[in-house]
């Protein structure tokens, strides 16, 4: 039985649609004066963050609280991890405290998979970003946002063209989106300098290009990625920020090449003036702030489907 969310690629189309539809129902809650449901009362969600985060951590916290779960926020800075405590001992401590779900962000690719496979924790593991590997709830919130604007009456993204631009090499957002959006029937194009495309990208369900302008006229949405300097992007990968921006940044001129209905997305945090200009980030086509709102609803749906007792009804007993 699947009880974790580790990779966007683990979700079948029906399962992904179930999460997105559930998120749609939960989004309505955000407009009510009292934004809380009693569904996860008495359950404990631990946010285990070994890496910096603004949006993802507070989003999971808001999601768990809106479902009435108890939330424990653990950040590696200021914890015994800085005294050398291992992932295993940290996990055993959380298990001893009775965590029903552990939302984990870690600088090492595969850390959430290790937690799920090792059996140190009985609860559900949710990958909130592991190294340069995956960030499945970001992909779900991006797909949710795209569906609200671009889907036909059936809520389908079949045949929609999504262009993902920038530092694909270091981006867990790109990989999770490539997997999920193609599962949902969209056509994904990755645009990056050759140095910022990962080895093995030819096995991803995408097409790739080094040239941004020609892809824009056909795009239903462009998703801009941050240049991840903390993971080494910058030095050596391209000549200068100015040149990167000229070739791979979206500015008012490039936005003008998009069809009228096309959207601009960015997972945040943005480097304004590098991959996206301020006027594009703040334009009416930008759904960047809406992505944050939708992220809470999507994470509520994930926690609800993983933790709520009544929902073990999916095919093969999976919560999705
Ligand atoms: C992304 C991440 O941490 O992977 N941000 C996020 O979760 N909203 C992308 C990034 O850091 O550039």
Centre of ligand 1 to C-alpha 108, Å, is 14
Centre of ligand 1 to C-alpha 200, Å, is 22
pLDDT category of residue 80 using cuts at 50, 70 and 90: confident
Q: Per-residue pLDDT for 124 more than 70?
A: yes
Centre of ligand 1 to C-alpha 257, Å, is 26
For residue 233, what pLDDT is reported? Answer: 76
Q: Which of 92-106, 172-186, 226-240, 271-285 is least confident?
A: 226-240
Distance CA 39, CA 64 (A): 10
Q: Which residues line ligand 1 (CB under 6 A)?
A: 55-56, 129, 135, 138, 172-173, 226, 228, 267-268
Q: Let me know whether 149 and 249 are in one domain.
A: yes
Q: Can you give the CATH number for the domain in which 33 is found?
A: 3.40.50.1370
Q: Let me know whether 166 and 50 are in one domain.
A: no
Q: Per-residue pLDDT for 2 more than 60?
A: no
List own/partner pairs for 113-120 with CB under 8 A and 24 or more apart: 113/6, 114/87, 115/87, 115/91, 116/4, 116/6, 118/88, 118/91, 120/88, 120/91, 120/92, 120/95
Q: Let me know whether 297 and 221 are in one domain.
A: no
Centre of ligand 1 to C-alpha 269, Å, is 6
Name the strands in the sheet holding 70-75, side by side, starting at the edge strand that comes first in the sequence.
70-75, 44-49, 101-106, 124-130
For residue 317, what pLDDT is reported? Answer: 60
pLDDT category of residue 54 using cuts at 50, 70 and 90: confident
Residue 277 lies in a domain: yes
Point out the ligand 1 atom lying closest to the alpha carbon of residue 295: 8
pLDDT tens profile 30-44:
888 888 999 999 999
pLDDT category of residue 214 using cuts at 50, 70 and 90: very high
For residue 74, what pLDDT is reported? Answer: 87
Q: Let me know whether 150 and 277 are in one domain.
A: yes
Tell me the CB-side half-sphere exposure of residue 126, using CA atoms within 13 A: 31
The pLDDT > 90 percentage for the chain reads: 81
Q: Return the higher-pLDDT residue of 81 and 90.
A: 90
Domain that holds residue 147: 136-288
Closest CA to 53 of 6, 104, 124, 8: 104
Q: In total, how many domains does the chain have?
A: 2
pLDDT category of residue 235 using cuts at 50, 70 and 90: confident
Residue 249 lies in a domain: yes
User: What is the mean pLDDT of the segment spanning 225-253?
Assistant: 90
């Amino acid at each position: 039985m699947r009880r974790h969310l580790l990779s966007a690629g683990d979700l079948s189309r029906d399962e992904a649609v179930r999460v997105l539809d559930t998120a749609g129902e939960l989004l309505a809650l955000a407009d009510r004066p009292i934004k809380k449901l009693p569904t996860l009362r008495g359950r404990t969600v631990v946010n285990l963050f070994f890496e910096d985060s603004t949006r993802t951590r507070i989003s999971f916290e808001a999601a768990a609280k809106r479902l009435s779960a108890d939330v424990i926020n653990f950040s590696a800075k200021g914890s015994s991890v800085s005294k050398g405590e291992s992932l295993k001992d940290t996990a055993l401590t959380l298990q001893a405290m009775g965590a029903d779900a552990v939302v984990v962000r870690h600088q090492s690719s595969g850390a959430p998979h290790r937690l799920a496979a090792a059996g140190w924790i009985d609860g559900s593991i949710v990958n909130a970003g592991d190294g340069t590997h995956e960030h499945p709830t970001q992909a779900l919130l991006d797909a949710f946002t795209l569906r609200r604007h671009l889907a036909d009456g059936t809520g389908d993204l079949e045949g929609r063209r999504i262009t993902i631009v920038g530092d694909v090499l270091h981006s867990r957002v790109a990989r999770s989106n490539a997997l999920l959006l193609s599962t949902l029937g969209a056509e994904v194009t990755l645009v990056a300098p050759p140095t910022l495309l990962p080895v093995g990208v030819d096995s991803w369900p995408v097409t790739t290009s080094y040239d941004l302008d020609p892809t824009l006229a056909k795009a239903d949405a462009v998703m801009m990625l941050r240049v991840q300097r903390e993971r080494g992007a910058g030095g050596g990968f391209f000549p200068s920020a100015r040149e990167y921006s000229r070739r791979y940044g979206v500015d008012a001129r490039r936005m003008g090449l998009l069809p009228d209905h096309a959207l601009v997305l960015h997972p945040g945090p943005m480097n304004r003036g590098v991959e996206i200009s301020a006027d594009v980030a703040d334009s009416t086509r930008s759904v960047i702030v809406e992505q944050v709102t939708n992220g809470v609803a999507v994470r509520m749906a994930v926690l609800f489907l993983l933790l709520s007792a009544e929902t073990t009804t999916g095919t093969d007993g999976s919560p999705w």
